Structure 1
Amino acid sequence: MNVLRLSIAEVSRALREGQLSPTELCRKCLNRIKRTRHLNAYITVTEEAAMKQAEEAEMRLQNGTPKGPLDGIPFAVKDNFCTENILTTCASKMLGGYVPPFNATVVQKLLDQGAVLVGKTNLDEFAMGAGSTDGAFGPVRNPWSDAETYRQHGGPEAQTDWVITGGSSGGSAAAVASLSSFFSLGSDTGGSTRNPGALCGLVAVKPTYGLLSRHGLIPLVNSMDVPGIMARTARDAATVLGILQGQDMLDATTIPSLPGQPDLPEDFDIKQITVGIPQEYHAPGLSPEVLGQWCRVAGLFEEAGVQVKPVSLPHTQFSIVCYHVLCCCEVASNMARFDGLEYGHRSPVASSTEALYAATRHEGFNHVVRRRILSGNYFLLKQNYERYFVKAQQVRRLIADDFSKVFGSGVDVLLTPTTLSDAASYRDFMQEDNRTRSAQEDVFTQPANMAGLPAVTLPTALSSRGLPIGLQLIGRPLQDRKLLAVAHWMEQRLGFPHIRFHGDHQEQETTSTTEEREEGTTAVGA
């Protein structure tokens, strides 16, 4: 058994019972990061700090005073969350050398629980993208493409056409999927955790807006950004959500914690819910395989006695256009702070203040960020403000009203696709421009952000290419735990497979003599 495949509950039990020490576990995760560096999942690996945190967790466990279920558990954080004394880049030249003096609230909550931070993960620059291909540190590779490579060729060196992770939290997804961390934090503005979660075979949670603090999350779109959670199971995600939720005096948009126990109920009665199938999500370009899984899971619900009924969200067709207008407007506002004067990159051009601003921003931002800033400033011009920004806000209200009407009719959960297909190859994905790719990849996910609703994606099966296919559940506001309970019910019946790479059959129980061989074989698990 490879301990890196265990769930949070299983590895926590092993740590408490002395079957494994936090330092051993941390070392295994750090070795895994080294062995899977070709995935480019991490920007910064915090090896020294992680080992120190693991040693402190080990002392607590030996003294019988663990801080909680995450004590000694390694995790990773997307590199747009501030981390005290640790480089934070947003995968951009603009933030080169920036080391925050504080932790984001969600990061601090995890550290307060004894979780061990092993590194900061790669992303699209400032979280603007749908493939984790547009960051300053290069693209992230999907660990599942390695599975096929190992089967056919025997190693990552033989890769010729790997597949993307999705974005923008692709590094966080690759970290969990490649077993170098037990869970990770991403950010979700229009699907940036759910999209890579689906393409990498993970459970990915976008909480109700305001349930998790955004303090210390470098903003993209303040009115839609939420910290997201990536894990291998719904129960793992629920454990992390229970720790992260709650009001934060440093974020005025936060709301109190959900009532009740953070863990999922053992006796959840699936027959008590009603599942809605939104007809507008049968979108152009939806692959037959994703459609087949959508129908299959709807059938599983019906066989279990759940009422499944078609519903309509009529303004969905306008959602992606509305999202891009509002996104660009808030990007233009948020990116204005990066001027080269206070922190980050500064151009040597000094002929005038205006020239310094222009040169710094041209050098520091990539073409994707610059294009969104220009678009947002255009939408916000006095002569365009009513036509674009105000109109988009009005359509956003209609989109939210559609969800309210459906949930008001007795529907508890919406079942939808997460992505149009399985993961695209890097070669095919890069043939489209960033805006087109984002519109295609976020079509099913961004409406939940527009309405502030909780949503979760989970893997259902493998495609004919051997890549994960995920489906999405969208719930009522503050019904995050019920949503995860439904996802857990689905998990138990879908039997999503574990992919084992070439050489995994040689793995044994972890010992000092087999550790190097074990960590040298790359693996992906759901």
Structure 2
Amino acid sequence: MLSLTIKEVSLALREGKISPIELCRKCLKRIKKTQHLNAYITVTEELALKQAEEAESRLLQGVYQGSPKGILDGIPFAVKDNFCTENIRTTCASRMLKDYLPPYNATVVQKLLDQGAVLVGKTNMDEFAMGSGSTDGVFGPVRNPWSYAAPYREQSGGADDDCDWVITGGSSGGSCAAVTSLTSFLALGSDTGGSTRNPGALCGAVALKPTYGLLSRHGLIPLVNSMDVPGIVTRSTSDAAIVLEVLQGRDLKDSTTVQSPTSHAGFSEDFDVHNLCVGIPKEYHAPGLSQETLAHWSRLADLLEGAGARVREVSLPHTQHSIVCYHVLCCAEVASNMARFDGLEYGHRSTEDSSTDAMYAASRHEGFNAVVRGRILSGNFFLLQQNYERYFLKAQQVRRLIAEDFEHVFSAGVDVLLTPSTLSDAASYSNFILEDNRTRSTQEDVFTQSANLAGLPAVSVPTALSSRGLPIGLQLIGPAFQDGMLLSVAHWIEQRVGFPSISNYEVPNK
């Protein structure tokens, strides 16, 4: 039951083949069984069972009461711990917010609740979403469920020590681990430079970064306001399309949102790729790209071409500058956003009381980890009056050029871009932590962050298991507000690559 799609389990609930309470208990039991993954910071067991009881009452009566309910009624879901949840601890995996209880729900969370979805917990992450491994949070690293599945265990000799498990990617690693390990049917992540697609690729989940402005950011604790997008993590593209339909649309609490577009085709399970024009960016043959990922990239391009799609090489010349551009803009906005955490109104407050300035400094030093402090310092440096034009303004100008590269490619007849999602499959934890966070993020975001700079939709789709028995994902990038078309192409790919569910393999207790 836990491995079914949202559409399948929703039908089963309505036909009475399983009850929402039974389904909720199965997920909660699964969370306990897989707690070695450290995917959750907070498990909302009591609330989840209450919501499941309400969903069961509605389904038994056959009449919806109160707010309108939909296809997600009774479906368990999880939320990354940087989305506000009313009276439920929201920590951003940081000591700074370890006891913070928001007084409201993020808009995307509220929309799921309004559909009758059942919240089972808040998922683990890199502190304040600054990282690409989900290893830097104050609650400890997240483990990739595939570390304990048969393919990887057989290739690694069946070892079960702490140095053997592999990372989820980040920063939405907890959300992707939750969906992959079958503890929730969908999860919300956040995507600023690839933070949903990166772990989606490494965990074998479908991870959608919608067009900027299509989903509300209200209640998402900000990292980089001009790039942050709520991400959708599911086990299938059709599930992602269902969730997107629920979450998209204008929000008066977020001035950057737009009305759901009606001028483009929506998601289709019968999409025909014949005559679809697929672009292969030559700049994405990046240093460090594994031969195995390259081979799967080429294989999928051949598969599309064999089905009648037109596949051609394209150029995004300013891609070479995107990592530096992203780093400058990210740090600058981080410095601005993190200024609100001063130890006064909310968040951690130091016991230092010699002066107000000393209390500020001590609270921020104690509340933030080294990664967050480093980005704040870098951002403040870039924003100094004498540095503003040299760094921040120049980065904004380069960002415009990067966006124009995409515009030129799509206006020339390309419908969708096919690229890798990550350089390789998941790294072992012991190897991953050898490098500093900035180096790791630069390497891991090389294929994903340019879509955030340009505000375009992008989705990572699992396509194969590597020779190590770990997922490899490929990415599709499309024109703005063509999210439905993008998911349709992704669905076509999904149906033909036959990526195996982790439910085919045992995920034992640690």
| Superposition TM-score, scaled by structure 1 size | 0.94
Task: Percent identity, please.
Answer: 74
Partner of 1:39: 37
Deviation of 1:207 (Å): 0.2
SS in 2 for 1:4: coil
Residue 314 of structure 1, aligned match among 312, 317, 325: 317
Contact 2:156–2:468, Cα closer than 8 Å, also in 1: no
State the AA in 1 paired with 2:262: P
Partner of 1:29: 27
Deviation of 1:269 (Å): 1.9
Partner of 2:457: 454
Give the whole-Å Cα distance in 2 for the aligned partners of 1:242 and 1:307.
29
Deviation of 1:163 (Å): 0.3
Choose 82-91 or 57-66, whichever is displaced more.
57-66
State the AA in 1 paired with 2:426: A
Give the whole-Å Cα distance in 2 for the aligned partners of 1:156 and 1:359.
43
Q: Rate the CA distance shift 1:158–1:365 in 2: closer, same or farther, 3 A.
A: closer
Contact 1:501–1:522, Cα closer than 8 Å, also in 2: no
Please give the residue correspondences for 1:87-166 in structure 2 after superposition, counting only pairs within 5 Å: 87-148=89-150, 151=154, 160-166=163-169
Residue 396 of structure 1, aligned match among 390, 393, 399: 399
Deviation of 1:202 (Å): 0.6
Contact 1:193–1:230, Cα closer than 8 Å, also in 2: yes
Deviation of 1:271 (Å): 1.4
SS in 2 for 1:257: coil
State the AA in 1 paired with 2:60: Q
Partner of 2:252: 249
Choose 253-262 or 32-41, whichever is displaced more.
253-262
Give the whole-Å Cα distance in 2 for the aligned partners of 1:309 and 1:234.
25
Give the whole-Å Cα distance in 2 for the aligned partners of 1:181 and 1:86.
18
Gaps of 5+ in 1: 505-519
Q: Rate the CA distance shift 1:176–1:263 in 2: closer, same or farther, 3 A.
A: farther
State the AA in 2 paired with 1:198: A
State the AA in 2 paired with 1:50: A
Deviations 1:462-507 (A, max 9, x none): 10000000000000000000000000000111111234576x5xxx
Please give the residue correspondences for 1:399-410 in structure 2 after superposition, counting only pairs within 5 Å: 399-410=402-413
Give the whole-Å Cα distance in 2 for the aligned partners of 1:461 and 1:86.
37
Give the whole-Å Cα distance in 1 for the aligned partners of 2:156 and 2:249.
48
Deviation of 1:270 (Å): 1.3
Choose 66-75 or 123-132, whichever is displaced more.
66-75
Q: Rate the CA distance shift 1:33–1:252 in 2: closer, same or farther, 3 A.
A: same
Q: Rate the CA distance shift 1:75–1:365 in 2: closer, same or farther, 3 A.
A: same
Deviation of 1:160 (Å): 4.1
Q: Rate the CA distance shift 1:153–1:225 in 2: closer, same or farther, 3 A.
A: closer
Q: Does 1:206 align with 2:204?
A: no
State the AA in 2 paired with 1:375: S
Q: Rate the CA distance shift 1:60–1:178 in 2: closer, same or farther, 3 A.
A: same
Give the whole-Å Cα distance in 1 for the aligned partners of 2:433 and 2:415.
38
Contact 2:163–2:428, Cα closer than 8 Å, also in 1: no
Deviation of 1:161 (Å): 1.2
Partner of 1:432: 435
Deviation of 1:231 (Å): 0.3
State the AA in 1 paired with 2:53: E
Contact 1:239–1:263, Cα closer than 8 Å, also in 2: no
Deviation of 1:394 (Å): 0.3
State the AA in 2 paired with 1:41: A
Give the whole-Å Cα distance in 1 for the aligned partners of 2:19 and 2:399.
50
Partner of 2:174: 171
Partner of 1:197: 200
Gaps of 5+ in 2: none
Deviation of 1:159 (Å): 5.2
State the AA in 1 paired with 2:47: A
Give the whole-Å Cα distance in 1 for the aligned partners of 2:204 and 2:406.
27
Contact 2:124–2:139, Cα closer than 8 Å, also in 1: yes
State the AA in 2 paired with 1:214: R
Contact 1:239–1:262, Cα closer than 8 Å, also in 2: no
Deviation of 1:303 (Å): 0.3
Partner of 1:508: none
Deviation of 1:267 (Å): 3.2
Contact 2:39–2:123, Cα closer than 8 Å, also in 1: yes
SS in 2 for 1:205: strand
Partner of 1:188: 191
Deviations 1:161-206 (A, max 9, x none): 1000000000000000100000100000000000000000010000
Give the whole-Å Cα distance in 2 for the aligned partners of 1:52 and 1:70.
16
Contact 2:3–2:503, Cα closer than 8 Å, also in 1: no
Partner of 2:16: 18
Please give the residue correspondences for 1:298-309 in structure 2 after superposition, counting only pairs within 5 Å: 298-309=301-312
Partner of 1:70: 72
Contact 2:163–2:430, Cα closer than 8 Å, also in 1: no
Deviations 1:241-265 (A, max 9, x none): 0000000000000000132799732
Contact 1:151–1:501, Cα closer than 8 Å, also in 2: no
SS in 2 for 1:26: helix
Work out the number of aligned pairs and report it. 505
State the AA in 2 paired with 1:104: A
Q: Rate the CA distance shift 1:368–1:355 in 2: closer, same or farther, 3 A.
A: same
State the AA in 1 paired with 2:13: L
SS in 2 for 1:270: coil
Q: Does 1:419 align with 2:422?
A: yes
Give the whole-Å Cα distance in 2 for the aligned partners of 1:260 and 1:73.
30
Contact 1:329–1:377, Cα closer than 8 Å, also in 2: yes
Residue 338 of structure 2, aligned match among 306, 312, 335: 335
State the AA in 1 paired with 2:140: G
Contact 1:146–1:156, Cα closer than 8 Å, also in 2: no
SS in 1 for 2:418: strand
Give the whole-Å Cα distance in 1 for the aligned partners of 2:174 and 2:49.
21
Deviation of 1:273 (Å): 1.9
Contact 1:78–1:123, Cα closer than 8 Å, also in 2: yes
| Superposition TM-score, scaled by structure 2 size | 0.96
Q: Rate the CA distance shift 1:156–1:138 in 2: closer, same or farther, 3 A.
A: farther
Residue 476 of structure 1, aligned match among 476, 479, 485: 479
State the AA in 2 paired with 1:144: W
SS in 2 for 1:240: helix
Partner of 1:277: 280
Q: Rate the CA distance shift 1:256–1:272 in 2: closer, same or farther, 3 A.
A: farther
Contact 1:161–1:426, Cα closer than 8 Å, also in 2: yes
Give the whole-Å Cα distance in 2 for the aligned partners of 1:15 and 1:196.
30
Q: Rate the CA distance shift 1:157–1:310 in 2: closer, same or farther, 3 A.
A: closer
Give the whole-Å Cα distance in 2 for the aligned partners of 1:154 and 1:44.
33
Deviation of 1:372 (Å): 0.2
Q: Rate the CA distance shift 1:33–1:155 in 2: closer, same or farther, 3 A.
A: farther
Deviations 1:332-378 (A, max 9, x none): 00000000000110000011110010000000000000000000000
Give the whole-Å Cα distance in 1 for the aligned partners of 2:301 and 2:219.
39
Partner of 2:220: 217
